[in-house]
Amino acid sequence: MLFGLHARGQAVAENDQEGSAAVRGRILLVLPFDNRTGQPSLEWIREAAPSLLSSRFASAGFSPMSRADRLYALDHLGLPEGFQPSRASSLKLAQTLDADSIIVGSYQTDGTGIVAEARVVDVPHLRMSEPVTAHGAMKDLIAVFDSLAWKLTRQLDPSFSGSEETFVAAGKGLRLDAFEQYIRGISQPDQAERLRHLKQAVQLSPDFGQAWMALGREDYSGQQYEQAAAAFGKVGRNSPDVLEAGFYRGLSLLFSGNYPKAEEAFAEVARVLPLAEVLNNLGVAMSRQGHDGSALFRQAVAADPNAADYHFNLAVSLKRKGATSDALAELGQCLKLRPNDSEAQGLIAAWKAPAAGGAEAQADPLERIVRTFDAVAFRQAALMMDQMEALRLAALSPHERALKLASQAKEYLDRGLLLEAERLYQSAVAADGTVAGAHAGLAEVRERTGDAAGARKEAQATLLLEPSAEAHLVLGRLDLGANQLDEAGREAGEALKLDPRSRAAQDLKQQIDLKSVKTQ
């Protein structure tokens, strides 16, 4: 099995942390949908479907396989990228990836609208579910697939309590025309066409992290390192690709000679996941500026002692400091791991006999750069962090756990990640329903997704537990939207009593006053 171990571990950590769905069924493979429209111009939706569904599944706590995973498995099985699998080959593909479930589906047009249908294949039991469907106007294609994702999530996990409105709201910031260009960009076989579509995508939607990531990869593979660094730098912190983007931004800056910025890029990644390849490249960036990178190379060696290049780099760094015996020992370790390393062989001879023909003066090579991002290693490191957090949460009392989950949810909410915030707030309420902050957070999630009744219910539940400026603000905004100005004014006043310096409360009161003047 190629990818199941780390993904299943992530599902275990999630299950331990939140006590929600069973571990089984969390690892998903979403296949391209079958185009039944008869229109070649809509062929791009085949790849759009797994992209949208996988994004929502990940936010809902599942572990969907990436497109790169799927393409790797197809190549492993000797199948072409555009292969339309049968049920038997789909199962083989899922088993290769160690997926618990496969999502298969199709789409067709209905006048000016689109109808999407999907089924869940239970891989271990070889069972296929009843179909679920979603339909809407073609201009609302993203919302159609978001709705389909919610229905599939409820089928995969009947205990899932997230709302359909939150799923649909998660995709509202994504422009359909930009998304189409992105999908066409990652699907085209010709690089010039890929670049053309991806550039259009980011022009239409300058905050589209996935498109910037794909554009950065294209520029990087084309050795356009300055452009690649700029593109990777546009990948926002809410993107699941942000660490990989930071790593490749660092590489692009190294190769374009901007060593101080490269050091900053690798340092940002290292603060989150200090993996060996990141520490090594951070050390390289420092050494290219004439600074000592020995400590970082030591950390890289400790993290991965079987990587010959890390021993080589430490040896070079130590030799520059005059620690020749230690440098020779590290070079010896390099040659044990890679006996045919001609550069290391030459160095060890030169360092052992420095007086021979001035060899020592020429025996100062550059440290080696790790040029590839090991996505599996990054996932495994992230999994370990998740598991450690799960253990910490499990050791807390229900009330403390609820407070911690509500705090984590607030961080997601502040970043606009509504699905993730909703899931953690609900877990907090499940742990201890008396934590007012969890209800207040859910009220704001419901408000942002357009569920006024749900938002009002959660805000009122908050106020039954304790005074809350946030809950009063939700109620005030809802009353203002319903043109109930007196009620809105009272809520704004209560929020200001609790938090006189609240900018949100001041803004709400100003809006109410302006609207009151206009209605007089």
Query: Token digits for 91?
Result: 């199962």
- CA distance linking residue 398 with residue 364, whole number of Å: 59
Q: Is the pLDDT of residue 498 over 60?
A: yes
DSSP code of residue 106:
E
Please, where in the chain does CATH 1.25.40.10 lie?
174-250, 258-381, 382-519
Beta bridge partners of 134: 116
**Alpha-carbon span 103 to 105, nearest angstrom:** 7
Q: What CA–CA distance (Å, rounded) separates 74 from 163? A: 34
Q: Which CATH superfamily is domain 4-172 in?
A: ABC-type transport auxiliary lipoprotein component (3.40.50.10610)
Report the C-alpha gap between 520 and 209 in whole angstroms.
46
Quickly state the pLDDT bin for 15 (edges 50, 70, 90): very low
- Which CATH superfamily hosts domain 382-519? Tetratricopeptide repeat domain (1.25.40.10)
pTM: 0.84
Q: Residue 55: which pLDDT band, with cuts at 50, 70 and 90?
A: very high
Q: What is the pLDDT of residue 381?
A: 72
Write down the pLDDT at residue 520: 66
Q: How confident is the model at residue 355, as a pLDDT?
A: 55
Least confident stretch, 41-50, 258-267, 383-392, 486-495: 383-392
Length of the chain: 520
- The confidence score (pLDDT) of residue 354 equals 62
- Specify the CATH number of the domain 174-250: 1.25.40.10
Least confident of 20-24, 157-161, 395-399: 20-24
CATH 3.40.50.10610 domain span(s) along the chain? 4-172
Taking only the tens place, the pLDDT of each residue in 305-331 is 999 999 999 999 999 999 999 999 999
Half-sphere CA count of 472, side-chain side, radius 13 A: 22
Collapsing DSSP to helix, strand or coil, 113 comes out as strand
pLDDT per residue over 264-280, tens digit each? 999 999 998 889 999 99
CB neighbour class for 517 (10 Å; exposed up to 12, middle 13-18, buried from 19): exposed
Confidence of residue 85 (pLDDT cuts 50, 70, 90): low
Question: For the ranges 16-20, 56-60, 362-366, 475-479, which has the lowest average pLDDT?
Answer: 16-20
Residue 3: pLDDT over 50: no
Nearest to 428 by CA among 451, 416, 412: 412
HEC assignment per residue over 179-241? HHHHHHHHHCCCHHHHHHHHHHHHHHCCCCHHHHHHHHHHHHHCCCHHHHHHHHHCCCCCCCC
Would you call 101 helix, strand, or coil by DSSP?
A: strand
* In contact, 443 and 470? CB cutoff 8 Å: yes
CA gap 23, 31 in Å, rounded: 21
- Calculate the alpha carbon distances from 332 to 283, 308, 346, 390, 438 in Å: 21, 10, 12, 41, 57
Confidence of residue 61 (pLDDT cuts 50, 70, 90): confident
Q: Is residue 2 over pLDDT 50?
A: no
Average pLDDT of the residues in 218-238: 95
Q: What is the pLDDT averaged over residues 138-156?
A: 96
Average pLDDT over residues 23-44: 85
CA distance to 66, 86, 310, 379, per residue, from 104 (Å): 15, 10, 44, 25
- Condensed to tens digits (0 to 9), the pLDDT of residues 238-297 reads 888 899 999 999 999 999 999 999 999 999 999 988 899 999 999 999 999 999 999 999
The third-level CATH classification (topology) of the domain covering 258-381 is 1.25.40
